[in-house]
Amino acid sequence: MNSAIGAGVAETLDRDGAFPRLDDDQRAQLRKLGRLRTVEPGEVLFAAGDAGSDFFVIESGTVAVVQGFGQEDQVIAVHGRHRFLGELGLLTGQRLYCSGVVRDAGQVIQVPVERLREIVAEDKTLSDLILGAFIARRSILIDIGTGIKLIGSRFSPDSRRLREFLARNRMPHQWIDLEQDEEADALLSSLGIEPDQTPVVIASGGEILRNPSNVELGRAIGLGSSGSPPPLSDVVVVGAGPAGLAAALYAASEGLDVQGVEVAASGGQAGTSARIENYLGFPAGISGSELAQRAEVQAAKFGARLDVPAAAVGLRSTPGRHEIKLSNGDVATGRTVVIATGAQYRRLDVARLAEFEGGGVYYAATQAEAQLCSGDPVVIVGGGNSAGQAAMFLSGRTSHCRLLIRGDDLAKSMSRYLVDQIERNHSIEIRRHSRVVELGGERELESVTIADTRSGERTRLPARALFVFIGASPHAEWLEGQLATDDAGFLLTGRDLQGEDLVEFDGDRPLFLETSRPGIFAVGDVRSGSIKRVASAVGEGSMAVRLIHLRLAGL
């Protein structure tokens, strides 16, 4: 078998918490929940493509985690005495990407995953250890490009769409480029597929998907909850950014029946942040995607269901019953609704922008985007925290990092701690009084032309990637004007509702965070007057649960 991780790398990954060992007490706890059994070399404990697996702890012997077992036989890692198997998908219900094959005979503790969730909910130390390892292992799988295979052209809009979907959902995958990878033609030929029939996804169980929609791909990899939404939930949460995840988590933890829907990936705009350093409780910072992953697992632990990808496309209400029509044809119905759809990125007004989007122009700076422009010059546009975080993240991974702002002072819209970090970072060049006026390149982005906002002087900068963080507009068009908004389209709530906006309340007053329709609440960036910070979004999401109880009591 080919090994993907050498001994030296494994030691480094151990320090990151990917391969911890369980102590005697922890293993004793798990033995009570499962069973101890003997395993022999070659025995397959779980296989790629399986819908799920039990949780395994190795008492003796070794187990290899293998990509393409029986075919390419690529060893991702070898687990030994007192280590455990699995990664994040074990808790979130996604299909398995690799197989677990016994290498040396020994004994394992086999625990049903339902029992694992029970003890993880009760034992904080064990919970932190297992969840931390699972998240670290997911990052390893993403970094080494294992998991499902995506074959296509980098110039194809559908290839870009699928790559973005997988990256946003932190799905381990191998991107095989028709223009660059020598194995692409041979692989397509073996499948009987012509290059013009791409993009093609080869799922972990061998299933072949030809240019699937995001919904089809999400279903194939086991993303989100299975099955249709229930006939009636206590609360439907629309959107799974920090505000939506907080609402789902706290509502479920208080015994409410929760159905969540999300159009793309959990985390919202925060999920695209490389590192959030001003969030309470994380002095060293945390990536937006990791924060979202942890919240999603927590919400699921309490019984919340999340349907991804499913876009809300319509709303119909009667007193005490609200129906959210979804893009996949389902309808999510709740006694109350929390709208946490956030905001959508504003786009630069520059020619050829759409041509390069996903292939040189990006609206997020995560591991996936960093890999695409590693060692190349990049340009970042924006003066807010998202732009600053992107600059800090990319500066150590690119050959030249330029940050463009229209004004002359970063501190006007960026947190002071971030401004100080950027100004001390000699790898970041700040271009003040600058705006993008032209994009250059044949099939891929090669340059960005900027103009001085005072003199009009133009400068052409080499750039293989342009990251745009210039604010956002509310993602509320699906409501078709049914709820009151401010002049910019953000949803009005609570005391901001006046006059005709109060008609449906029959002389009563809306609750704080309640929109112009009783029982429908708005939280996070989509709400008028909200503070655009992760902490405040989480606060609003959790606060909404108390208000939901009050509204349900009234019903």
Summarised one tens digit per residue, pLDDT across range 497-548 is 999 999 999 889 999 999 999 999 999 999 999 987 899 999 999 999 999 9
- Reported as a single tens digit per residue, the pLDDT across 480-493 is 999 999 998 999 99
Are 462 and 502 contained in the same domain? no
Boundary of a domain, candidates 97, 117, 144 = 144
Q: Parallel, antiparallel, or unpaired: how do β-strands 343-345 and 173-177 relate?
A: unpaired
Give strand ranges (E) for 198-252: 200-202, 208-210, 233-238
Single out the residue of 249, 262, 329, 331 nearest to residue 291, CA to CA.
249
Give me the helix-helix angle, 288-301 and 113-122, nearest 10°.
100
Are 30 and 131 contained in the same domain? yes
Q: Parallel, antiparallel, or unpaired: how do β-strands 200-202 and 208-210 relate?
A: antiparallel
Are 105 and 34 contained in the same domain? yes
Boundary of a domain, candidates 144, 162, 187 = 144
Contacts of 151 (CB under 8 A, 6+ apart): 176, 178, 184, 187, 188, 198, 199, 200, 201, 202
Confidence of residue 58 (pLDDT cuts 50, 70, 90): very high
In angstroms, the first-to-last Cα distance of the chain is 62
- What CATH number corresponds to the domain at position 339? 3.50.50.60
What are the beta bridge partners of residue 468? 381
Confidence of residue 364 (pLDDT cuts 50, 70, 90): confident
Residue 454's Cβ-count burial label (10 Å; 0-12, 13-18, 19+) is exposed
What are the beta bridge partners of residue 521? 338, 514
Is 297 or 513 the better-scoring residue by pLDDT? 513
Confidence of residue 2 (pLDDT cuts 50, 70, 90): low
Single out the residue of 285, 286, 304 nearest to residue 296, CA to CA.
304
Question: pLDDT at position 333, please?
Answer: 97
What are the beta bridge partners of residue 218? none
Pair of tokens at residue 9: 């790398």
Are 306 and 190 contained in the same domain? no
Residue 15 has pLDDT above 50, yes or no: no
Are 42 and 171 contained in the same domain? no
Q: What are phi and psi of 364, to 5 degrees?
A: -150, 155
- What CATH number corresponds to the domain at position 74? 2.60.120.10
Establish whether the linkage from the previous residue to 199 is cis, with ω within 30° of 0.
Answer: yes
Q: CA dist 35 to 39, 86, 108, 125, 427, Å?
A: 12, 17, 8, 22, 54
Containing structural domain, residue 30: 2-144
User: What average pLDDT does the chain have?
Assistant: 91
The answer to whether residue 225 is domain-embedded is no
Question: pLDDT at position 92, please?
Answer: 85
Are 433 and 505 contained in the same domain? no
Question: pLDDT at position 9, please?
Answer: 38
Burial 384-397 (b: 16+ CB within 10 A, else e): bbbbbbbbbbbbeb
Residue 341 CA to residue 100 CA, distance in Å, equals: 39
Confidence of residue 162 (pLDDT cuts 50, 70, 90): very high
Q: Which region among 11-15, 70-74, 313-317, 437-441 has the lowest average model confidence (pLDDT)?
A: 11-15
For the beta sheet containing 428-431, the strands, ordered from the edge strand earlier in sequence to the opposite edge, are 361-362, 465-468, 377-381, 400-404, 428-431
The answer to whether residue 227 is domain-embedded is no
Q: Parallel, antiparallel, or unpaired: how do β-strands 148-152 and 74-79 relate?
A: unpaired
Are 392 and 331 contained in the same domain? no
State the pTM of this model. 0.80
The answer to whether residue 156 is domain-embedded is yes
Are 121 and 162 contained in the same domain? no
Residue 324 has pLDDT above 70, yes or no: yes
Are 185 and 266 contained in the same domain? no
Q: Please compute Rg for the chain using Cα positions.
A: 24
Pair of tokens at residue 362: 């990006």
Are 478 and 407 contained in the same domain? no
Total structural domains within the chain? 4
Are 487 and 423 contained in the same domain? no
Q: Tell the residue number behind the tokens 């007004």, with chain if given.
A: 349
Single out the residue of 214, 131, 210 nearest to residue 171, CA to CA.
214
Single out the residue of 51, 52, 98 nearest to residue 79, CA to CA.
98
The answer to whether residue 228 is domain-embedded is no
Confidence of residue 226 (pLDDT cuts 50, 70, 90): low
Q: Containing H/E element for 535?
A: helix 534-554
The answer to whether the beta carbons of residues 445 and 465 sit under 8 Å apart is: yes
Question: pLDDT at position 456, please?
Answer: 95
The answer to whether residue 226 is domain-embedded is no
Give me the helix-helix angle, 534-554 and 242-253, nearest 10°.
40
The answer to whether residue 242 is domain-embedded is yes
What are the beta bridge partners of residue 78? 64
Q: Parallel, antiparallel, or unpaired: how do β-strands 312-318 and 321-326 relate?
A: antiparallel
Are 366 and 321 contained in the same domain? no
The answer to whether residue 185 is domain-embedded is yes
Q: Which region among 69-73, 79-83, 149-153, 463-467 has the lowest average model confidence (pLDDT)?
A: 69-73
The answer to whether residue 48 is domain-embedded is yes
Single out the residue of 396, 460, 392 nearest to residue 430, CA to CA.
392
Boundary of a domain, candidates 220, 252, 284 = 220
- What CATH number corresponds to the domain at position 167? 3.40.30.10
